[in-house]
Structure 1
Amino acid sequence: MNIGIIGAGKMGTGLGKLWIKNGHNLMFSYSRDMEKLKSLAESIDPSVRVGTPTEAVQFADVVLLSVPWAAVPDALKAAGSLDGKILFSCVNALTPDMSGMAVGTTTSGAEEIAKLVPGARLVEALPVFAEVLYSASRKFGQQEATVFYCGDDAQAKEIVAGLLREIEVEPLDAGELKNARFIEPAMMLLVQLAYAQNMGGEIGLKLLRR
C-alpha cells in the first residue's frame, strides 16, 4: 500500500517506521526544511520518498494527517483535493501547550477536519504515544493497548484498522465520526496523566470485556 504522510513529527515518523517494515511504500511531506525531511526519509529506509503534500496525496492509497492542531488548515490547503481519498487523522484538537482541548464535546477535531475536506473518506484514530511507538514493542506485557477509531465510511475504517493492527495495538470500532467527541477527550486524559502527572508516555488505554 502507498501511504502519504503529511507531517513528519514523532507520530508520523513513528508510524511510518513501523509500516515500512510491513512492506508499505511511504512518502513524507509538509516540512519547513526539505533537506531535513530528505535526511529523515533516508534514515528510515532508502525507498522512502519525500514530496509536497499534494504529491503525497497523489501518491497515496491512504493519507496520514499527523500535524499539530493549529497547522491543520495550512496542511490541508497545501494537500489540495482529497476527494475520494482515505484520510487517516491522528490529530487531536489540543491547545498549543497541551493544557486542554481547543474544541470538544459538542464537536471534535475530526469533525472540524471533515468540514475542511468534505470529499475525503475520513477516519480518526489516536494511537499510543510516540514513546510507545519508538519502543522495542508496542505491547504492555502480553496485552495490546486499545485504540479507538471512528468514521462514516466502512471500507476506509477497515483499511485503517488493518494499519493499526500492524503496529501491535487492538483497534476498536467506536462508530460514527461524531464519536470522536468522546475519543479525543479520553486521549487528553492520557496526556494529562503522562505529562502533568508525570507518569510518562509509556501508557495506554485498555478496554476490558467479560
Structure 2
Amino acid sequence: MNIAIIGTGNIGSGLARTFAKTRHGVVVADRKGGQALADTLKGEGLTVQAASIAEAVAQADAIIFAVPYGAVAAIAAEADFEGKIVIDVTNPITEDFSALSVSGESSAAEEIAKLLPAARVVKAFNTVFAGLYGGSFTFGGHTLQTFVASDDEAARDAVISLAKDAGFDARNAGGLKNARYLEPLGFMNIQFGYMLGQGTEIAPLWLAR
C-alpha cells in the first residue's frame, strides 16, 4: 500500500520513520513539498518520497493527516480525496491545552468525514506520543496499542493491517462515532504526560484476561 503522510512535524516525521521500515511505500508532503524530511530520513538509511500535498494524495491509497486539527480544512480543499482512506491522528485540543475543541455530539474524525464525504475516514494513532515512533513498541512486556475506528469496515481492516505491519497491537474500535471516546483518551494521555509530569514515554493500554 502507498501511504501519504501530510505534515512533517514531530508526528508526521515519526510516522514516516515507522512506516518507512515496513513493506509499504511512503510519500511525505507539506507546504514546502516534504523534501527536507525525505532528506533527513535518507540520512538515516530510510527511503521515502517527497511531493506536494496534491501529488501525494493522488498517488496514495491511504493518507495520514499528521497536522493540527485546525489545519485540516485547508488541506481538504487542496486535493481530491475521493475513494481514499484518510487516517485522522488528530486530537482537537485548544491552544491552552485545557479542553477539546470538538466533543460531545461529534469528534474531529466525524467533522473530517463531513469535510470529505467521498473519503473513507478512519481514526487511529491519536493516543501515541510522537517520540514513541521509530523505536521499540514494547512496554514492560506489552505492545503499544492503537485503537482504530471507522464506519467503513474494509478501510478499518486495512488500517489495522497497516498498524500491525508497523508493530502495533491494533484494536478494532468500531464505528467512527467512537472517535468521540478515543479523542478524550488521547487528551487524557496528554494530560498525564505534560500536566501530571509523567512524560511522553507513556501510552494507554487495554488489557483483557
Q: What's the TM-score once normalised by structure 2's chain length?
A: 0.92
Q: For each residue in 1:24-74, what CA deviation from the matched residue of structure 2 results, as whole angstroms up to 9, or x when unmatched?
A: 22111123x44xx31210221374222221111111011111110111111
Secondary structure, counterpart of 1:97 in structure 2 = coil
Distance apart, 1:120 and its partner CA: 0.3
Match in the other structure for 1:96: 95
Match in the other structure for 1:52: 52
Secondary structure, counterpart of 1:151 in structure 2 = coil
Match in the other structure for 1:70: 70
The answer as to 2:171 corresponding to 1:169 is: no
CA RMSD of aligned residues (A): 1.5
Distance in 1 separating the partners of 2:26 and 2:208:
36
Secondary structure, counterpart of 1:119 in structure 2 = coil
Q: For each residue in 1:114-170, what CA deviation from the matched residue of structure 2 results, as whole angstroms up to 9, or x when unmatched?
A: 000000011011241112114x31210220132211001111111111121133221
Deviates more, 1:87-96 or 1:45-54: 45-54
Match in the other structure for 2:206: 207
Q: Work out whether residues 139 and 168 of structure 1, in 8 Å CA contact, stay in contact via their aligned partners in 2.
A: no
Deviates more, 1:136-145 or 1:152-161: 136-145
Q: Work out whether residues 64 and 89 of structure 1, in 8 Å CA contact, stay in contact via their aligned partners in 2.
A: yes
Distance in 2 separating the partners of 1:29 and 1:59:
12
Match in the other structure for 2:188: 189
Q: What amino acid maps onto 2:190 in structure 1?
A: V
* Percent identity (aligned): 36
Match in the other structure for 1:23: 23
Secondary structure, counterpart of 1:168 in structure 2 = coil
Number of residue-to-residue matches in the alignment: 205
Partner residue of 1:41 out of 38, 43, 48: 38
Match in the other structure for 2:3: 3
Distance in 1 separating the partners of 2:187 and 2:127:
12
Deviates more, 1:3-12 or 1:106-115: 3-12
Q: 5+ unaligned residues in a row in structure 1: which ranges?
A: none
Q: What amino acid maps onto 1:202 in structure 2?
A: E
Q: 5+ unaligned residues in a row in structure 2: which ranges?
A: none
Q: Work out whether residues 35 and 51 of structure 2, in 8 Å CA contact, stay in contact via their aligned partners in 1.
A: no
Distance in 1 separating the partners of 2:18 and 2:145:
17
Distance in 1 separating the partners of 2:110 and 2:87:
13
Q: What amino acid maps onto 2:128 in structure 1?
A: V
Q: Work out whether residues 94 and 101 of structure 1, in 8 Å CA contact, stay in contact via their aligned partners in 2.
A: yes
